[in-house]
Chains A and B, each alone.
Chain A
């Protein structure tokens, strides 16, 4: 389904473009590592218990915990 989704709700292989981030929710380090609004991220795979998630960001892999991924909204690809 198209539209705005939380990154945590995507399945491996799915991705989308990061929307505005609420700065109270996400650490500045995430942005400094290149996870900025407008950047495309894809879920590569998850850890065995479904958490953390491994993201593909600009060709490299970043692991984030699910609670952080719940605070990142992305515009998904399909329409």
Chain B
């Protein structure tokens, strides 16, 4: 260790679906935190583990990978945490996690780690599953064959074996690097010494990895100049390593041939069946929506109610003044606007975690891949698109799982078309206002319109993707390779941890932006070019008109006239850029002024008269035009910020915002002109 005062840093390394997160959750409990790796968008999950009475260690849960040669941004993190000497997170000890039913593939990664000369402990999970399959391994002999590594069987469900892991970590020493798994020198004699010197590598394998990495991280260009093909080198390593592991495992692994290995495959014959699989998928998605919309309603209303009371309370107790105003009408509603979505988002995360932990999500991806491909999307686009029905922000982050850069970009670009929950309050108010309460057979017209808006979001997302894909270069083709993990009963502890982490990062990330914009809007709505003494003399309706935002509303009115909107709607549209649901609040503010009664927003809006016609302002044409505008316009600065972060620049978020908003304008224009 470089710094004796620094806590021991442990990295968890393993394939996806190995029970790695169970081990991590067991080791760290609730001390976990999510942060970002510098410069990239991958979440860094770390926590503290008490190894003994005196030793505390920082544990980092590295993204699951099959190899130290990275295939994507997530996997690059693993490479950097273990290899890059300048990486401040470089691990002192590695805990390798291996699924016992599939040791060869897991040891492929683990021996790469050993070849780096890092002290390591091997944890073998799923040995209950091994027993079911009639597999057994001599763990001690395995440790010896790996060059003196401690191999500890652990049960991720019960935590059995973890105490031994902690002891082993404290004892772990670098394993002498042997050439028994792979000999870099054999294939790279011509350049290896030079590569070691240039990269400052401590082992031959480290230099080998460096030499085969793409230019951003390593020296594949350099090695190409020396007549070697980096991909070829990578394959040579793979072949050599696997055959070494095959020889190593043969005497250690015992198989009872009578056992049935195909339980998951048999379940899958039903769950991916064209008919039964399809029906199951529809049922699962239906349940998910049911939960997100109906179970979350109570808590959402409770939060909303609580905050409006809090605002009123603050206004009544605190001395009147600008600060109280800001607190009661700017900050409190801003915080409320973020927290209100928390129940829905937490439920959504819960369901997605449930689907992922059980192994079913991989089947959904598998079944829908061919369906979504003609649109330029991947089966893996399903997770973001489903998540986007709650909120586009976590959904766009979920697109990181898509390896193919083009499919990932398209997913990020079209995901905001999906009907996020912030649109729901807007739709609810407008539908109640302009759609008559009639029934077509068993269907309520209002429910049908709402359903149609959801369907429209999805259809337009697919359409937009097939349009935009023409302009996105095919680029490097990352393969679609998807492990379909065994079905497993999800662990409550893992589910809870995921929901907790993701909800917390949603509140922190989206919260900052929504809060900041709420405060800005409050300022714009309460101050104007007039002096405050002059403003004070106006009644609230005039004051709004004279405020900065009122002026802006008037300024944009000519542009939105063709869509059927006036300057008041213009204000609502503009303020919706913070978050769409602000529409309802803004409408409430605008239309409540000048009326003393305590009617609902809808009542106030229904009473609004169009001065030109003498008819109600919010007629069918205006209502439909507004709903379509909200369906398609990219009115969410938080989404904009996330897209910028995920695509690494201004280009795509700007194109997205311009494209979506132009499309929304066009559709609303056509709809209004036809209906009016």
> Is residue A11 within 8 Å, beta carbon to beta carbon, of the partner chain?
no
Main secondary structure of the interface of B (DSSP, over half): helix
Those of A36-79 within 8 Å (CB) of chain B: 36-37, 44-45, 47-52, 54, 56, 58-65, 68
* Total number of A residues with any Cβ neighbor in B under 8 Å: 31
B369 touching A60, Cβ below 8 Å? no
Query: B105: which of A27, A51, A58 is its contact (CB, 8 Å)?
Result: A58
A32 touching B67, Cβ below 8 Å? yes
B272 touching A29, Cβ below 8 Å? no
In the assembled complex, the Cα of A44 lies from the Cα of B366 at a distance in Å of: 13
> Is residue B261 within 8 Å, beta carbon to beta carbon, of the partner chain?
yes
Query: Contacts A34-B104, A61-B484; is A28 near B239 (CB within 8 Å)?
Result: no
> Is residue B473 within 8 Å, beta carbon to beta carbon, of the partner chain?
no
Give chain A nearest CB distance to B314 CB in angstroms: 55
Q: Which interface residue of B67, B71, B235, B362 has the most chain A CB atoms within 10 A?
A: B235
Query: Contacts A23-B232, A36-B238, A47-B369; is A63 near B105 (CB within 8 Å)?
Result: no
CB-nearest residue of chain B to A60: B102
A30 touching B370, Cβ below 8 Å? no
A45 touching B272, Cβ below 8 Å? yes
> Is residue B482 within 8 Å, beta carbon to beta carbon, of the partner chain?
yes
Query: Contacts A33-B66, A47-B366, A54-B268; is A65 near B102 (CB within 8 Å)?
Result: no
In the assembled complex, the Cα of A6 lies from the Cα of B37 at a distance in Å of: 42
Stretch at the interface among B20-28, B117-125, B273-281: B273-281
Per-position 1/0 for B587-624, Cβ under 8 A of A: 00000000000000000000000000000000000000
B370 touching A34, Cβ below 8 Å? no
Per-position 1/0 for B357-369, Cβ under 8 A of A: 0000010001101
In the assembled complex, the Cα of A36 lies from the Cα of B236 at a distance in Å of: 11
CB-nearest residue of chain A to B112: A32
Give chain A nearest CB distance to B456 CB in angstroms: 25
Q: 3 shortest A-B CB distances, which residue pairs?
A: A61-B484, A48-B274, A27-B479
A36 touching B66, Cβ below 8 Å? no
Give the tally of cross-chain contacts (CB within 8 A).
116
Give chain B nearest CB distance to A72 CB in angstroms: 12
A50 touching B370, Cβ below 8 Å? yes
Give chain B nearest CB distance to A60 CB in angstroms: 5
- Residues of A within 8 Å of B369, CB to CB, are 47, 51-52, 63, 65
CB-nearest residue of chain B to A39: B242
Query: Contacts A44-B265, A49-B371; is A68 near B479 (CB within 8 Å)?
Result: yes
Identify 16 residue pairs between A and B in the complex whose beta-carbon atoms are under 8 Å apart, listed by A's number.
A27-B479, A28-B235, A28-B238, A33-B105, A34-B242, A45-B265, A45-B272, A48-B278, A52-B366, A60-B102, A60-B483, A60-B486, A62-B481, A62-B483, A63-B483, A65-B480
> Is residue B290 within 8 Å, beta carbon to beta carbon, of the partner chain?
no
CB-nearest residue of chain B to A51: B370
Give chain A nearest CB distance to B270 CB in angstroms: 10
In the assembled complex, the Cα of A8 lies from the Cα of B367 at a distance in Å of: 17
